[in-house]
Structure 1
Amino acid sequence: MSLRGSVDHLSADGASGWIFDTVEGRPLVVQALLDGRIVGEALAELYRADLAAVGLGDGRCGFEIVFSTPVEPTSLPFLAIKPQGGDVELPRTNLTGFGDYFRSLFAHAPGAGRPRSVFGGLWTDRTDAARLLQGRVASGATPAELAAPLRTLIFEGYALLRGALAPAGFGPTELDLLDSLEAGPPLDPEADGAARRLLEGLPAMLFRDAVVRVARAALDDNPVAYRTVLSRGRAGSFGQPSAAEALTSPAECLALVTCAGSGPVLLDVIRGSHELPEFTRAGQSRWLTAGAGAGIELALGEALSVAQVEIGPQDVALIGPGTLYRLRTPDGATGLTTWCAPARVSPVAILAAGAGTFSVRHGSGAMARV
């Protein structure tokens, strides 16, 4: 027996999906189990045109299970759908069940501290982040002088470090390299010599003491730059740092935005977007879906407003992983956005296909790895 299948929908009342025996092609009985107890079963013989179109027999391998009694939403992530007599659990096509789980959990414990993403994130995005910061400063784990920018990052979703690149920002050599590079796609050191030279100098340019100390405190580790993009001459679309890649980006990340040249560049931040719930009504995660569609849908539902921030040539803006933002670069200005993850998270695992294995280490412990 060789099986294929998935759970496409799961709720407190039932589950649906498909299962196909690629050897015998016969309909199978599927069972829903919770703590080893069968709470529902069905014969997978429902016709599905989408499955027939891809050659899964005649398409009669869909199932709908109605549970004998409704399942508590907090138990949904632990419910298994298996073929009768088998040990293999059918995978879920998305985060099926987790939305109901967290809505129920948070309703029962609204004051409990928790990450804003199923897959975790930075401590600064936890719902109890302000209390955590207070404890870190009181214990000496976080220097008191870092409390102000970290508090801003917690409450606003971003922090602007004025003069962090003083006294001169980027030098003439770096500005010439920036002018020679294309805006839009991530810089690729394997395909472009100028991009490689810029990335080689990026840690020294970007990871000044004022930046590294705040980034290190937010990431709980040394920062590793894994993606750099130039913006020039146009307003970009809204994005979210954790959803920057077509492949899933890490929930633990920061976007560092700087201005190259005489500037300034303008940053539009959707106020309070870092505190939005993770899931849309359709169960789509705003943290893990490429682009900002899910986040924008939630922001529109909350009628959130937009704050405009001006970033000068010596400034650095740190943007939290769940914050929705847009960079606007007036004519003659160039914006540089660099995504950083903590060193404990391997950037190689979240890079798009075709990336190289280029890395540079800075004396502070920070790195660029692309």
Structure 2
Amino acid sequence: MTIRGSVDSLTADGAAGWAFGIGFAPGRFLVLQALLDGRVIGETTADQPRHDLAAAGLGDGRCGFTMAFYDAPVDQQLLPFISIRPRGGDVELPRTSLTGVGEYFGTIHARFPAAGRQRCVFGGLWTDRTDAARLLAGRVEVGATPPGVRGALQRIIGSGHAVLRDVVLPVDAEQDVLSRPDASLSGVVDPASGAAGRRFLAGVPELLFQPASLSLLKAMMDDTPVVHRVVLSHGEETGTPFMQPSAAERLPSPAESVLVVACLPTGTGSSLQVEIIAGSHEFPEFTADGRSRWLPSPPAGQTPPAIEIARRCDASIRMIEIGPQDLLILGPGTVYRLRPAGDQTSALQAWCIPSRISPSRVLEQPDAQTFVVRHPSGALLAV
């Protein structure tokens, strides 16, 4: 026997949908039950006329149902765990309504709006908690966070990013390998690509781990920062699609990734423009089909979850411009893109994680060589 059907609506009071038994004799209908933790909380017969189902070739269309729950209303938090099945069977009708994991968490968050929580089911940095502003005040009060980084942390918490102006100390151009990046270095900088890549990577910690940026990263992570991924682009190639720092690559803890963006001038008057989707660090986590925006992007041709959610939220775009002496710090949940730059500008993107975790590729390829540069502060580059 073949059964087709779906649950089109599931509320605290009952369920509605359709169920059709292929090969059933005329006048014979399916009896459906709603189960919660093995207990029957509702029962009905799928015999209601549905003209749309008749037009689709499902018999005479008398296979719709509306079911009222015995103990209505059911707690909204329990809706994801209710199953609709034919009586005496183990087959569960699929749902077309949005009553999955996203709605489960949404219901809890709406019911307890003041409860502090992470914005991602995978956990994350304390700066991404809904009560991060209150946490910051307490951390400064007890001495867990230096007062000097309070302003930058407030910007990270409030807008998902912070621009550190004039923090990059000038270096003699003749000694600064970052001011003359090899043209062959483009995309993810791989130390295995040759001496040019290793020379460039060796200079990255000195640029990124300035006193102001290092203090901020340590305060966000409660740990020593480690650069695990470096991407270099030049001129027009600096333009990128919208993306989210946590989705750059697979991590055991995807919500603990911070992006640092720097402008590398190869001439005078260079600057880099970055567009940020305002409020994206506070977006919901899941799309309608249950995909998390905090995970690596989907295959080509499929809209990234972060962009799908941004469209749903009618988000706006904010432009930021940084110069050679500035650093842009982006939280793991902030959606951004780089704009194409002039011929005399290169863009450096460096992903940092706490030293307590390692990228998944390191665990999957234990024999791969890791290029390590240790900064005098103890911070690392390990790619």
Range that drifts further, 360-369 or 348-357: 348-357
2:204 pairs with 1:205: no
The correspondence of residues 125-144 of structure 1 with structure 2, limited to 5 A, is: 125-144=128-147
Q: Does the aligned pair in 2 maintain the 1:247–1:290 contact within 8 Å?
A: no
Rounded to whole Å, the distance in 2 between the matches of 1:169 and 1:100 is: 56
Change (3 A) 1:279 1:180: same
The corresponding residue for 2:282 is 275
2:241 pairs with 1:237: yes
Instruction: Letter of the 1:295 partner, please give it.
Output: A
Instruction: Letter of the 1:286 partner, please give it.
Output: R
Q: Tell me how far 1:288 sits from its aligned partner.
A: 1.0
The corresponding residue for 2:166 is 163
Rounded to whole Å, the distance in 1 between the matches of 2:158 and 2:215 is: 19
Change (3 A) 1:73 1:350: farther
Q: Does the aligned pair in 1 maintain the 2:251–2:360 contact within 8 Å?
A: no
The corresponding residue for 2:23 is none
Q: Tell me how far 1:38 sits from its aligned partner.
A: 6.7
The corresponding residue for 1:325 is 336
SS at match of 2:288: coil
Q: Does the aligned pair in 2 maintain the 1:242–1:249 contact within 8 Å?
A: no
| Equivalenced residues, count | 306
Q: Tell me how far 1:97 sits from its aligned partner.
A: 4.2
Instruction: Provide, for residues 129-153 of structure 1, a one-character-per-residue CA deviation record: whole Å limited to 9, x for no partner.
Output: 1111111111111111110000001
Instruction: Provide, for residues 72-91 of structure 1, a one-character-per-residue CA deviation record: whole Å limited to 9, x for no partner.
Output: 564588899xxxxxxxxxxx
Q: Tell me how far 1:34 sits from its aligned partner.
A: 7.5
Q: Tell me how far 1:250 sits from its aligned partner.
A: 2.0
Instruction: Provide, for residues 79-111 of structure 1, a one-character-per-residue CA deviation record: whole Å limited to 9, x for no partner.
Output: 99xxxxxxxxxxxxxxx9431320121121112
Q: Gaps spanning 5+ residues in structure 1: where?
A: 1-10, 15-31, 41-65, 81-95
Change (3 A) 1:368 1:332: same
Q: Tell me how far 1:224 sits from its aligned partner.
A: 0.6
Asked which structure has the greater CA Rg, the reply is 2
TM-score normalized by structure 1?
0.72
Rounded to whole Å, the distance in 2 between the matches of 1:352 and 1:281 is: 31
Rounded to whole Å, the distance in 2 between the matches of 1:132 and 1:197 is: 40
Rounded to whole Å, the distance in 1 between the matches of 2:364 and 2:277 is: 27
Rounded to whole Å, the distance in 2 between the matches of 1:149 and 1:339 is: 18
Q: Does the aligned pair in 1 maintain the 2:297–2:305 contact within 8 Å?
A: no
Rounded to whole Å, the distance in 1 between the matches of 2:210 and 2:373 is: 15
Q: Tell me how far 1:175 sits from its aligned partner.
A: 3.1
Instruction: Provide, for residues 249-276 of structure 1, a one-character-per-residue CA deviation record: whole Å limited to 9, x for no partner.
Output: 7210100000111421111111111110
The corresponding residue for 2:157 is 154
Change (3 A) 1:281 1:246: same
Instruction: Provide, for residues 118-168 of structure 1, a one-character-per-residue CA deviation record: whole Å limited to 9, x for no partner.
Output: 101111111111111111111111111110000001111100001121234
Q: Tell me how far 1:357 sits from its aligned partner.
A: 1.9
The corresponding residue for 2:351 is 339
Change (3 A) 1:239 1:107: same
2:104 pairs with 1:101: yes
Q: Tell me how far 1:216 sits from its aligned partner.
A: 0.5
The corresponding residue for 1:49 is none
Rounded to whole Å, the distance in 2 between the matches of 1:169 and 1:264 is: 19
Sequence identity, in percent? 46
Q: Does the aligned pair in 2 maintain the 1:274–1:324 contact within 8 Å?
A: yes
Q: Tell me how far 1:282 sits from its aligned partner.
A: 1.5
Rounded to whole Å, the distance in 2 between the matches of 1:259 and 1:142 is: 28
The corresponding residue for 1:361 is 374
Q: Does the aligned pair in 1 maintain the 2:251–2:358 contact within 8 Å?
A: no
The corresponding residue for 1:303 is 314
Rounded to whole Å, the distance in 1 between the matches of 2:275 and 2:183 is: 26
Q: 2:304 aligns with which of 281, 293, 297?
A: 293
TM-score normalized by structure 2?
0.70
Rounded to whole Å, the distance in 2 between the matches of 1:346 and 1:318 is: 20
Q: Tell me how far 1:326 sits from its aligned partner.
A: 0.7
Q: Tell me how far 1:231 sits from its aligned partner.
A: 2.0
Q: Tell me how far 1:190 sits from its aligned partner.
A: 1.6
SS at match of 1:196: helix
Rounded to whole Å, the distance in 2 between the matches of 1:191 and 1:352 is: 21
SS at match of 2:373: strand
Rounded to whole Å, the distance in 1 between the matches of 2:318 and 2:223 is: 29
SS at match of 1:133: helix
Range that drifts further, 330-339 or 195-204: 195-204
